[in-house]
Amino acid sequence: MNAPLPFPITDTVGAWVPHGKFTIAGQAGGPLSGLNFAAKDLFDVAGHPTGAGNPSWLATHPVPTQHSPVVAQLLAAGATLMGKVLTDELAYSLHGDNTHYGTPLNTRYPERVTGGSSSGSAAAVTAGLVDFALGTDTGGSTRVPASYCGLWGLRSTHGLVSNQGLVPLHPSFDTATWLAKDADVFERVGRVLLPASSYAPRRLLLPLDAWELADEIFTAPLQRARDALAHQLACVPEGLRIAGDTGLAAWRQTYVTAGAYEGWQVHGAWITQAQPVFSPAIAGRWKAASQVTAEAAAAARATQAQIRAHVHGLLGTDGLLLLPSAASLAPLRNAQAADVDAVRLRTMAITCIAGLCGLPQISLPVRTTGGDILGVSLLGPAGSDLALIQLARRLHAQIDPAQ
């Protein structure tokens, strides 16, 4: 195990958890030498507690004796770990606040949240305090903060990056991820964590029902991306309603039901025994999860299998989906709970596509004509992750060269 070093960062954005201020040097000479990173407080780091955003979890779980494989891989590649950063409680939120540890600062938009549940990761990267940060994405917890903070973020193909040594939420949907401000840094990390991909898209698919869920501010960036991709791929974009007559709201509910049941199977016994204090919104989700029946979960899984087959069939081996990364700019820090929830529901109807299907989706930052930055996403077949990063970089150079 690498020896700990003094912690050199002044946390100006409230990103680090109190037990997360430590440093572990990466091995010299690796492809990530000279870079530093933070880990969302769901990843195990040997000798340091994993808090999962909740003090009761911190108090009732042993200190890990091994690094998560992802942390170990990054250290071996030369990156230096700068401790652990905040997550929404057990990662069960997209908002980016924590009733126990606070709401980290989004330095891109100080009046707005970072988004969650990779809230501390997004805050630390946006502020330039680390070069990149590990996050997770179950229902959108990397894609949404990436969009809210103007960062690069990838929901990886489910199972492609190890989930060992990672506190789960919904294991069938959980993915290990990372966020970065700099595209080159983002790809360097991808080359360490991801296998090579021969994916070469030839068809561009536009899920118009997902586009319609996003605020109007997304329209022009999506159109710029559509035109650039059509030129790159030498194809005519194909508009479609990916969810057909069923609708993406129903797809979202399929995800919610299947995930909630699975989450309660994982954490229900601990919640019942430890009686942790959760924020009202997260407590409500766990209460609802406890009431999902095995029959309802089985029906949701059957529907998910149909959705998965449908989307995989649409993509084939050479299809590419272009869609918004979220439904809006980041909510205001003082937004009313009902307004936050309304945005969350629209956003999850967009993000559930990749989640239900286990597919990779990269969010790249795009500047609007008004000067705002938001996320536009590319979604590809399983295993296309590294090729998606490279495609997104070429797209970014065309549609947002000034950034």
- Does position 388 have pLDDT exceeding 80, yes or no? yes
Share of the chain above pLDDT 70, in %: 98
Question: What's the rounded mean pLDDT across residues 22-35?
Answer: 97
Do 99 and 237 sit in the same domain of this protein? no
Residue 273 lies in a domain: no
Do 31 and 173 sit in the same domain of this protein? yes
Residue 267 lies in a domain: no
**pLDDT value for 400:** 83
Are 361 and 378 in contact by the 8 Å Cβ rule? The answer is yes
Are 86 and 53 in contact by the 8 Å Cβ rule? The answer is yes
Q: ω into residue 121 within 30 of 0, thus cis?
A: no
Do 175 and 237 sit in the same domain of this protein? no
Q: Provide the residue range defining the domain that includes 55.
A: 4-193
Render pLDDT for 239-279 as a digit per residue (tens, 0 to 9).
999 999 999 999 999 999 999 999 999 999 999 999 999 99
Are 363 and 180 in contact by the 8 Å Cβ rule? The answer is no
**pLDDT value for 4:** 56
Q: Which helix (H) or strand (E) holds 379?
A: strand 373-379
Do 392 and 345 sit in the same domain of this protein? yes
Angle at 308 between CA 304 and CA 309, to 5 degrees: 120
Do 105 and 214 sit in the same domain of this protein? no
**pLDDT value for 1:** 46
Active site residues: 40, 117, 141
Last residue of a domain, one of 193, 228, 259: 193
**pLDDT value for 6:** 78
Question: Rounded to 5 degrees, what are φ and ψ at 154?
Answer: -125, 125
Do 119 and 188 sit in the same domain of this protein? yes
Do 50 and 161 sit in the same domain of this protein? yes
Q: Which CATH number covers residue 394? A: 3.90.1300.10
Question: What's the rounded mean pLDDT across residues 150-166?
Answer: 98
Share of the chain above pLDDT 90, in %: 97
Residue 9 lies in a domain: yes
Do 150 and 168 sit in the same domain of this protein? yes
Last residue of a domain, one of 149, 169, 193: 193
Residue 283 lies in a domain: no
> Cα separation of 102 and 98, whole Å?
5
- Does position 402 have pLDDT exceeding 80, yes or no? no
Q: What is the strand order of the sheet 23-24 is part of? A: 4-5, 23-24, 80-85, 36-40, 132-137, 175-180, 152-155, 361-367, 373-379, 319-324, 203-207, 238-240
Do 343 and 233 sit in the same domain of this protein? yes
Do 8 and 121 sit in the same domain of this protein? yes
Residue 152 lies in a domain: yes
Number of domains the chain is built from: 2
Minimal CA–CA distance to 116: which of 299, 347, 315, 323?
347
Residue 223 lies in a domain: yes
Last residue of a domain, one of 193, 227, 259: 193
**pLDDT value for 401:** 65
Do 366 and 324 sit in the same domain of this protein? yes
Residue 255 lies in a domain: no
Do 338 and 357 sit in the same domain of this protein? yes
Minimal CA–CA distance to 323: which of 294, 298, 289, 357?
357
Query: Is this model's pTM higher than 0.95 or not?
Result: yes
Residue 336 lies in a domain: yes
Render pLDDT for 311-330 as a digit per residue (tens, 0 to 9).
999 999 999 999 999 999 99
